[in-house]
Amino acid sequence: MTESDAVELVRQYCVDCHQGEGAEAGLDLAEFSSAAEVVDSIETWNKIADRIHEGQMPPEGSDAPTGDVRGAMVTWIRKTIHRAVCEDGISPGGPMLRRLNRTEYANTVRDLLGIHVNAGHALPVDGAGGEGFDNAAETLFISPIYAEKYLDAARSALGHALRDPGARNRIIVAEPDAERTPREAAAAVLNAFLPRAFRRPVDASEVDQYLDLFQSVYDQDQSFLPAIRFALEGAMVSPKFLFLWEEPNRSETPQPISQYELASRLSYFLWSSMPDQELMKLAAEGKLHQDDVLATQVARMLHSDVDRRGLRRDSKVRGFATSFIEQWLGTRALGREFKPDKSVAGRYDSELEGGMKYEPIFFFEDLLSENRSLLNLIDSDFTYVNRRLAGHYRVKGEFREQPKRVDLPEDSPRGGVLGMSAVLAVSSYAHRTSPVLRGKWILETLLGTPPPPPPPNVPELDEGGETAQPTSLRERLEQHRADPTCASCHNAMDPLGFGLENFDVLGRWRTEADGVPIDASGVLPGGATFAGPGELKSLLLQRKDQFIRHLTSKMLGYALARGLTNEDRCVAEAIAEKLAQDDYRAQTLVVEIVKSVPFRFKQGQNEQAVVGPVPAAVQDQDPTHEQLSE
């Protein structure tokens, strides 16, 4: 399609609705005349391309182009944007500056002190930002409410650690004796502790700051343990511990992040915790930027063991699987924002809820550790169930409270995330299923094409109950979307959701609802038809490249811990293409992200922009004796 073809297409099919003061969605295309206007409004035209691709524009009942012309227009828009943004090279983001979120803080304290205590339980809940994750720099600033809570958390965690003989021996590596003064012993402890706490080497002046804290307490009562504990508490409330902070790039051009900064980016991406000894050793040797070393480390960090009973043992990668999958799929809401109504809950209990929550987590951990195809997320021949979830799914076998991998029979409606009870629950209402919510979930979560917000004053769906009303949910929804202003979005959402109607609120299989046989068929804009979850998944697999591009963008945003720029999306496109060449393997996605320019480089001084509010505490300051004693 040429530029003039695209302009003519807009005039023929779009301007009727999108012109003047009353333009739909405030989008005026009456003066559209060139590709330059696409480049000037990239975000808007990305949305336009998505709406055209999903059949939401032009709306049903309007004059519309053929499917081939529609596809050509989408391709022209995306290629126009790609040429403008991607072909002159990729610029990285600024140096990282953000607070550890609550999960990362708890995991870091656990690994630093060697204790299995959730030190972050009393911290405020973190909100989502960036690409929808709670590790986004845009939201992870610090407020006065945190200061006291961090000090309380540090004191409590150190108290637990120093009461545990193993943990205490790892932390207190020296004590005063006939050959070592108290200050020398304290220096030995701090020289071992501070590089791990700050995730980089420390210089003598930094050690001296904490030795002064030690000395100020030791001079009062000549007791070594309370004094060194005070100094360690000071380190654990320092911005150097609480923040992921990278040195500014003083040069004019992008530069690689340092070896130790890369170690932290890797560990907080894949473990939600501090670098381990091997990462720190490779950083000290200057090897982490080597592609083969990165690939080896990714495979190591994503590995989880399976014992002789077939159970996956505790592994650090589960932290990544939990944080990423729960936020991407929205299943973190199960048991929090979403609780099933008693009228549909049946034998819902904590063990079933646990099985539901952990199924997608263990499933994703399996994909990462075994380097399986990411297309298993759409459809698979296995899943993970515990004892209660196995009964819920009517799966046979020997199961315990911890989820275990189980092969699914060929005729199983399970397989992939669309057959998982947690997903089916959080995309329902508490008292009934919702084809609208489930369809919207598929468009938004799997395909990355969320429908626009509903127009104002749209009436709520009539729940029925009167004999004159339609009897099935499908009939009520058809009546609801009779309004042309609703039809364009609902025609894309509702059929997808109806493909999952055989699953009730909690994902149990059923053949009827309220005494009415379930019709799980659907017709999508463009005429594609399907019936039931199996055929729906087959249709989604035909759009696998769209799914992979969206998944890649989500994981890249999670890895960078910030919202993506248009240039970042060029990187995501390139990674998705490499994934297609390697059978969509999970570790390939991770390796390509950590090898990418945005992950390994930071902007030059002329380009830098700080992401999010900068707390004054980050100006390389450390707590004083008075601050710790307040």
Residue 593: how many CB atoms within 10 A of its CB? Answer: 22
Contacts of 32-38 spanning 24+ positions with Cβ under 8 A: 32/7, 33/7, 34/3, 34/7, 35/3, 35/6, 35/80, 38/77, 38/80, 38/81, 38/84
With a cut of 80, say whether residue 459 has pLDDT above it: no
Where helices occur in 222-258 by DSSP H, the ranges are 224-236, 239-242
Q: Which of 42-46, 454-458, 561-565 has the lowest mean pLDDT?
A: 454-458
| Confidence band for 486, pLDDT divided at 50, 70 and 90 | low
E strand intervals along 161-316: 243-245, 255-256
> Closest Cα partner for 427 from 507, 354, 502?
507
pLDDT at residue 458 in the model: 64
Cis peptide before 58 (omega within 30 of 0): yes
Which DSSP state fits 272? S
Lowest-confidence pick of 137-146, 297-306, 444-453: 137-146
Mean pLDDT value across residues 189-201 = 98
Please give the Cα distance from 494 to 490 (Å, whole number). 5
**pLDDT, tens digit, for every residue of 132-175?**
999 998 888 777 777 889 999 999 999 999 999 999 999 999 99
- Model confidence at 464: pLDDT above 60: no
Q: Which residue has the higher pLDDT, 400 or 56?
A: 400
Answer for the pair 168, 595: CB distance below 8 angstroms, yes or no: no
Quote the CA–CA distance of 251 and 261 in Å, as a whole number: 17
Measuring CA to CA, which residue among 513, 457, 596, 448 is closest to residue 53? 448
Residue 324: the pLDDT is 97
Q: How far apart are CA 427 and CA 326, in angstroms?
A: 13
Q: What's the average model confidence in pLDDT over 296-308?
A: 95
Q: What tens digit of pLDDT does each residue of 491-548 get?
A: 788 899 999 999 999 999 999 988 889 999 998 877 889 999 999 999 999 999 999 9
> Residue 22 has what pLDDT?
78
CA distance 319 to 365: 9
Q: Contact 334/354 with Cβ under 8 angstroms? A: no
| Mean pLDDT score of the chain | 89
Distances (CA, A) of 131 to 276, 324, 470, 550, 553: 27, 11, 40, 11, 8
Average pLDDT, integer, range 249-274: 95
Is the model's pLDDT at 463 over the cut of 60?
no
| 130 touches 137 (CB < 8 A) | yes
pTM of the model: 0.89
Residue 619, pLDDT above cutoff 70: no
Contacts (Cβ under 8 Å, ≥6 apart) of 457: none
CB 123 within 8 A of CB 153: yes
pLDDT (mean) for 589-609? 85
Strands 512-513 and 404-407: unpaired
Letter for the amino acid at 204? A
Q: Kindly report, residue by residue over 97-110, the tens digit of the pLDDT.
A: 999 999 999 999 99
- For residues 142 and 333, which has the higher predicted lDDT (pLDDT)? 333
Amino acid at 509: W
Sequence-distant (6+) residues with CB within 8 A of 337 are none
User: 120, 114, 126, 193: which is closest to 156 by C-alpha?
Assistant: 120
Strand partners, 98: 244
For β-strands 382-385 and 97-99, DSSP reports them as unpaired
Structure tokens at 580: 């297609």
Rounded CA separation 188/175 (Å)? 9
- Would you say residue 426 has pLDDT above 60? yes
